[in-house]
Structure 1
Amino acid sequence: MSSPRRLRPPDGALPVAGSTPVQVALDELGTPLRDVTFVVVDLETTGGSATADAITEIGAVKVRGGEVLGEFQTLVDPGGPVPPFIQVLTGITTSMLVGAPTIAQVLPSFLEFARDAVLVAHNAPFDVGFLRAAAGRCDRAWPGFQVVDTVRLARRVVLRDEAPNHKLSTLAALFGAQETPNHRALADARATVDVLHALLGRLAPLGVTHLEDLATATDPVPADVRRRRSLADDLPDAPGVYLFRGPREEVLYVGVSTTSLRRRVRSYFTSAEKRGRMTEMVRLAVRVDPVPCASPLEARVRELRLIAEHAPRYNRRSRAPERMPWVRLTDEPFPRLSVVRDVRAGTAHIGPFASHALAQQAVDALHASFAVRQCTGRLPARPAPGAHACVLAEVGRCGAPCVGGQDVAAYGAVAGAVRDAMTGDPRAVAQAHAARIRTLATQERFEEAGTVRDRLTAFVRGAGRAQRHERAARCRELVAARRTDEGGWEIVLVRYGRLAGTAVVDRRTDPRPVVASLRAGGEHVAAPVAPATAAHPEETDLVLAWLEQPGVRLVEVDGEWSSPVRSAQAVRDAAAAVTLDLVAPRAPLVDDVPASASAAAQRTA
């Protein structure tokens, strides 16, 4: 244990003159929070299951009234090896735990350290769940700790306008914590202490000033919000989309329910809704408009389309599909890779990606695998007078076509290999990255190995998405059907990757006339430029996921509907296996695609 230390008051908490730093507005009724002893704990583990995985490190900080009273930290022998991806995440290796005490030796000391305190953790169900499970395995009774979860507190007082999420690293940065979380137990526990004090400071003006207040701090439903639950009274008990509208008829938020619109909208007026922005939105809403749908697929697709149409201020995703970038191999004498916003005929593309950063990672993966030029200017077929090569040519990473080191034909062979990796077989990229990951892991350079892993993952996902979307983009019309739970049929009409019509028939109705009616009256869809489809990319993903469900039958296909066996989709699971097992003696990406991936690809071919 360390000696007591003083904490700098975080944002939202001020020191009382001449005394220990405390939160704002603490008074003397009940048990003031400044008099409560908190033990803030953080664990590192071998995985996410409290029953199947084990603790590898415990870190805890005992604090009262803004003063650290002591610290507890120890590594723990989990009784087995630490998975490679956990080693990458935490830096705790199997060799570090040789000779460490077991949890049976550590747990009594920790329970004594935390005795008579309030237990605090960031995502407390995870940490407390592991500790309870460990106590059970050690035949020790679990004390009746009062538990405070800083994630739940943060959801009450930290809005999305301030922080994109409620992760510990995000909150620590927001509140200026003295310790930066790094997936080591004691450092994370110290950061959680600062986050806890900042959150208590924000809760004080809301009346949370005593220990007794914390029990209900995350659950109360404001009266003005509860009164608005009548907005859901007339909604149908069926799947569909709902639109919250503001006082000027503007669409504030678009949501979806795949079962019951009424039940889903009612949940916004109960303690089940924890998002601060949604509470703010509910206070502004004056009406909820329902859009009943025939099936869950139609409901999800309509939600995407309405979000793209209205761009509601309280929706975070799918508002601007045109901004989703692609990676293009340009059409010029000496092609190069470029991140673009549109798709052009006659060139190779992968994507679309969720962000420019992911697209750039895919570009980096291709640059690391092929000696394709990285300069951005257009090069003439013959070198320009006075041209000079860049440093990449000097280190052998480019053939220097800018100065005549490669002619159009020689460089075309390199560009052809890049094109094949993007549109067909990605194993050349996967092989190069798997080898690099193994080398870095052997050298215990796990952070660099993680960077290479991220590049490979971005490329494989982008290439796989483009190949999946391309088959939809080249299929003029497809009709498929799936049995419903009631014995009828859910029928879907897809044109160029866009949902053009859907219907549900009961088991007593002949579905064939419904299919004919759908084809005759379905939405007219113009042919897109492949691999882009005629729909929002996420809509195409939803349609493809529906088509790939077990039990879906293809009724009519007008056009091409196939996927190459040696495709990015076929090796995606293999790539994931390699990146999770960084120290594997070999990578299953050379010529031995796993049987499950290969079989799946052949079924769709």
Structure 2
Amino acid sequence: METRPRPDQAQLAFDELGTPLRDTTFVVFDLETTGTKPGPDGITEIGAVKVRAGQVLGEFATLVNPGTPIPPQIVELTGITQAMVYDAPRIERVLPAFLEFIGGAVLVAHNSGFDTSFMKAACEGHGYVWPRPTVVCTVKLARRVIPREEARSYRLSSLSMLLGARTRPTHRALDDARATTDVLHALLERVGNLGVHTVEELIDYLPDVTPAQRRKRNLAADLPSRPGVYLFKGPRDEVLYVGTARDLRRRVRTYFTGSESRGRIREMVALAERVDAIECAHSLEAEIRELRLIAAHRPAYNRRSKNPHHGWWISLTDEAFPRLSVVRLPRAGTLGPFRSQADARTAAETLADASGLRTCTQRISATSASGTPCVLAELGRCGAPCAGRQTVAEYSPAVEAARGLIAGHDGRPLHLAAARLEEMSARRHYEQAARHRDELAGLVRAVGRAHRQAALASVAELIAAAPDGNGGWELSVIRYGRLASAGVARRGVPPMPVVESLVAAGETVLPGDGPLRGAPGEEVGILLRWLARPGTRLVRTTRPWAEPAAVAGWQSWLARVADARSLEHVAG
């Protein structure tokens, strides 16, 4: 009689085996700093040791000029003086070499939160991308492996003595990194005897993973290794959380390991009874389905996208002397959507200032068109040349300028605002100019985003193809700013028959009201980002896809603004 293995005895698939510790490259590193608060500067020394299978592959060591005085107590602790770092490179010159040194490795540090927080802050402060590597903390691992009765302290100096490290820590970066390397190897020997043989098992073994969380790994057992959307469901079959993944099985398994540290999500995992998955043709379809499922189910543990249609819009009021108002419902001639009411108000105030529209809420009827001052002006509480001091004919150019910018065919308000900015700078009103510059940049970005979204939403059908990285194509049919269908043409498969089948089977989309024709702004934004990816091609459209020209040519100005803000951040 054939005996089938129980699920807990079944042979693991290759993707479950993980990366063996003996084949893993670790970079053990340590920093010396001027203090305890992370920032773009403050690192005085970096030391790192790259090891694999117990063998040292290389070392990295350098002093760093922190750009700030080193406190006397730090000098006494580390022995690193101001004179020692005077000719040392600044951190922005060191980062490229260090990031290359740690590339593809698992990072290790003693009290890793301290060291990685400084490196993250340095990367953010100097324009580098922190690679988000897997990180192992030897303090946490030691607390998990070595009982308190054996180790009186988990300080590096105590552990190095207890575990027989060949190098003793000296509060110098390379020595401490070498000592931590010896401690790491001793700890790995101990966990190896407990059945921990892969990086994934090591992360899973760390103390912040509860046994209940670890037991729930079986919820991912039957999920496919395909792109798609996953739904965590609770005891009453309610949707707790919706997420998207390129590899459903691998992504869901991370929720049951130490790599998941978010308190709310760990609480969600504790409640989950099962995980459902929806396979998708490619990552774009997964993103859109995630957005729609969150809107439909409003899961308690998702923070965003629960109200995709509930944005904020800017509209001209229906008065003799219109002003800009922030509204909830879009209609013809509105600008948006904005994510928050505050963002919409700021943009409205900047647009009103650029166009010459009034900003007061005093209602002024057409009967005051003789030029009689409004109530606020009579009280001396308003000195601006607005509707209370103008005729309808005198005020109408401001209204038409604002309406033209919202529609996308008149960029004069932006140019007038830029000219005013130049005038402020010429008069050396630098703080006022910087504030005006940032407000104008926000308006330019908002108007450009609104125009791009409205242009895509106006196309009845647009079909696009993006390379899948393996010689095939990811295909999408977009109708009035919504994804109607998605598919793939693998390498060697003629794409056009696939396109025709997707068109025939695509969702019917009826256009609604407003600039986005009823499409959610967040969905249109996702589609635009996908269409802007390098290599994406238009297959065909029912009408030319063109964007209004009101903000054309402003990208170089926005780039200069970004550069100026970066310089101000460094100087500040």
Q: TM-score, normalised by structure 1?
A: 0.61
Match for residue 271 of structure 2 among 284, 287, 292: 284
Q: Quickly say closer, same or farther: Cα 1:383–1:503, change in 2 above 3 A.
A: same
Correspondence 1:114-129 to 2 at 5 A: none
Distance 2:336 2:486 in 1: 27
Distance 1:257 1:236 in 2: 11
Distance 2:301 2:212 in 1: 19
**Aligned residue in 2 for 1:571:** 554
Distance 1:236 1:560 in 2: 39
Moved more, 385-394 or 312-321: 385-394
Higher RCO (C-alpha 8 Å, min separation 6)? 1
Aligned to 2:67, what secondary structure does the other structure show? Answer: strand
Q: Does structure 2 conserve the Cα–Cα contact (< 8 Å) formed by 1:437 and 1:452?
A: no
Summarize deviations over 1:222-247 as a string: whole Å, max 9, x none: 22211111111110000000001111
Correspondence 1:547-562 to 2 at 5 A: 547-562=531-546
**In the alignment, structure 1 residue 361 sits paired with structure 2 residue 346:** yes
Match for residue 105 of structure 1 among 74, 77, 86: 86
Q: Quickly say closer, same or farther: Cα 1:546–1:283, change in 2 above 3 A.
A: same
Structure 1 residue identity aligned to 2:399? A
Q: Quickly say closer, same or farther: Cα 1:42–1:561, change in 2 above 3 A.
A: closer
**Aligned residue in 2 for 1:344:** 331
Q: Which runs of 5+ in 2 are unaligned?
A: 1-32, 47-61, 102-107, 126-147, 160-179, 181-202, 568-572
Aligned to 1:267, what secondary structure does the other structure show? Answer: helix
Aligned to 2:460, what secondary structure does the other structure show? Answer: strand
Larger radius of gyration between Structure 1 and Structure 2: 2
Q: Does structure 2 conserve the Cα–Cα contact (< 8 Å) formed by 1:469 and 1:533?
A: no
**Aligned residue in 1 for 2:470:** 486
**In the alignment, structure 1 residue 324 sits paired with structure 2 residue 311:** yes
Structure 2 residue identity aligned to 1:574? W
Structure 1 residue identity aligned to 2:215? R
C-alpha deviation, 1:263, in angstroms: 0.3
Distance 2:552 2:271 in 1: 44
Q: Does structure 1 conserve the Cα–Cα contact (< 8 Å) formed by 2:351 and 2:413?
A: no
Distance 2:234 2:208 in 1: 24
Q: Does structure 2 conserve the Cα–Cα contact (< 8 Å) formed by 1:336 and 1:373?
A: yes
What is the CA RMSD across the aligned residues, in angstroms?
A: 4.7
Aligned to 2:364, what secondary structure does the other structure show? Answer: coil
Match for residue 149 of structure 1 among 82, 105, 113: 113
Aligned to 2:367, what secondary structure does the other structure show? Answer: coil
**Aligned residue in 2 for 1:227:** 215
Distance 1:473 1:572 in 2: 22
Distance 1:553 1:574 in 2: 28
C-alpha deviation, 1:396, in angstroms: 5.7
Match for residue 461 of structure 1 among 434, 445, 450: 445
Q: Quickly say closer, same or farther: Cα 1:131–1:530, change in 2 above 3 A.
A: closer
Q: Quickly say closer, same or farther: Cα 1:152–1:269, change in 2 above 3 A.
A: farther
Q: Does structure 1 conserve the Cα–Cα contact (< 8 Å) formed by 2:227 and 2:279?
A: yes
**Aligned residue in 1 for 2:131:** none
Structure 2 residue identity aligned to 1:436? L
Structure 2 residue identity aligned to 1:149? G
C-alpha deviation, 1:445, in angstroms: 5.0
The percentage of counterpart residues that share the same residue type is 39
**Aligned residue in 1 for 2:36:** 40
Q: Does structure 2 conserve the Cα–Cα contact (< 8 Å) formed by 1:481 and 1:490?
A: yes
Q: Quickly say closer, same or farther: Cα 1:582–1:550, change in 2 above 3 A.
A: closer
Q: Quickly say closer, same or farther: Cα 1:255–1:390, change in 2 above 3 A.
A: farther
Q: Quickly say closer, same or farther: Cα 1:38–1:546, change in 2 above 3 A.
A: closer
Q: Does structure 1 conserve the Cα–Cα contact (< 8 Å) formed by 2:489 and 2:495?
A: yes
Q: Which runs of 5+ in 1 are unaligned?
A: 1-36, 64-68, 75-100, 109-125, 137-143, 154-165, 168-182, 184-206, 585-605
Summarize deviations over 1:372-414 as a string: whole Å, max 9, x none: 1112354322229994244999876333x23xx3222221111
Distance 1:59 1:567 in 2: 52
Summarize deviations over 1:59-100 as a string: whole Å, max 9, x none: 66969xxxxx99x999xxxxxxxxxxxxxxxxxxxxxxxxxx
Distance 1:533 1:510 in 2: 33
**Aligned residue in 1 for 2:286:** 299
Structure 2 residue identity aligned to 1:40? T
Correspondence 1:23-172 to 2 at 5 A: 40-45=36-41, 55-57=66-68, 104-105=85-86, 146-147=110-111, 149=113
Tell me the matched-pair count: 436
Q: Quickly say closer, same or farther: Cα 1:42–1:103, change in 2 above 3 A.
A: farther
Match for residue 370 of structure 1 among 348, 355, 364: 355
Correspondence 1:323-472 to 2 at 5 A: 323-345=310-332, 347=333, 349-383=334-368, 387-390=374-377, 397-399=384-386, 401-402=387-388, 405-424=389-408, 425-426=410-411, 428-429=413-414, 432-433=417-418, 436=421, 439=424, 443=428, 446=431, 448=432, 450-472=434-456
Q: Quickly say closer, same or farther: Cα 1:355–1:104, change in 2 above 3 A.
A: same
Q: Does structure 2 conserve the Cα–Cα contact (< 8 Å) formed by 1:60 and 1:73?
A: no
Structure 2 residue identity aligned to 1:57? T
Structure 2 residue identity aligned to 1:577? R
Q: Does structure 1 conserve the Cα–Cα contact (< 8 Å) formed by 2:34 and 2:70?
A: no
Q: Does structure 1 conserve the Cα–Cα contact (< 8 Å) formed by 2:465 and 2:536?
A: yes
C-alpha deviation, 1:466, in angstroms: 1.0
Q: Does structure 2 conserve the Cα–Cα contact (< 8 Å) formed by 1:481 and 1:555?
A: yes
Structure 2 residue identity aligned to 1:478? L
Distance 1:464 1:229 in 2: 45
Q: Does structure 1 conserve the Cα–Cα contact (< 8 Å) formed by 2:362 and 2:376?
A: no
Structure 2 residue identity aligned to 1:225? Q
Q: Does structure 2 conserve the Cα–Cα contact (< 8 Å) formed by 1:473 and 1:528?
A: no
Aligned to 1:149, what secondary structure does the other structure show? Answer: helix
Q: Does structure 1 conserve the Cα–Cα contact (< 8 Å) formed by 2:349 and 2:359?
A: no
Structure 1 residue identity aligned to 2:210? P
Q: Does structure 1 conserve the Cα–Cα contact (< 8 Å) formed by 2:402 and 2:413?
A: no
C-alpha deviation, 1:128, in angstroms: 13
Distance 2:400 2:286 in 1: 42
Structure 2 residue identity aligned to 1:367? A
Q: Does structure 1 conserve the Cα–Cα contact (< 8 Å) formed by 2:228 and 2:244?
A: yes
Distance 2:153 2:550 in 1: 60
Distance 1:149 1:58 in 2: 24
Q: Does structure 2 conserve the Cα–Cα contact (< 8 Å) formed by 1:41 and 1:60?
A: no
Distance 2:516 2:379 in 1: 33
Structure 1 residue identity aligned to 2:563? L
Structure 2 residue identity aligned to 1:578? V
**In the alignment, structure 1 residue 540 sits paired with structure 2 residue 521:** no
Q: Quickly say closer, same or farther: Cα 1:450–1:249, change in 2 above 3 A.
A: farther
**Aligned residue in 2 for 1:31:** none
Aligned to 2:414, what secondary structure does the other structure show? Answer: helix
Structure 1 residue identity aligned to 2:304? R
Structure 2 residue identity aligned to 1:237? S
**Aligned residue in 2 for 1:603:** none
Q: Quickly say closer, same or farther: Cα 1:563–1:285, change in 2 above 3 A.
A: same
Q: Quickly say closer, same or farther: Cα 1:368–1:225, change in 2 above 3 A.
A: same
Q: Does structure 1 conserve the Cα–Cα contact (< 8 Å) formed by 2:417 and 2:440?
A: no
Q: Does structure 2 conserve the Cα–Cα contact (< 8 Å) formed by 1:481 and 1:491?
A: yes
Q: Does structure 2 conserve the Cα–Cα contact (< 8 Å) formed by 1:525 and 1:534?
A: no
C-alpha deviation, 1:289, in angstroms: 0.6
Structure 2 residue identity aligned to 1:372? L
Aligned to 2:466, what secondary structure does the other structure show? Answer: strand
Distance 1:541 1:552 in 2: 16
Q: Does structure 1 conserve the Cα–Cα contact (< 8 Å) formed by 2:321 and 2:364?
A: yes
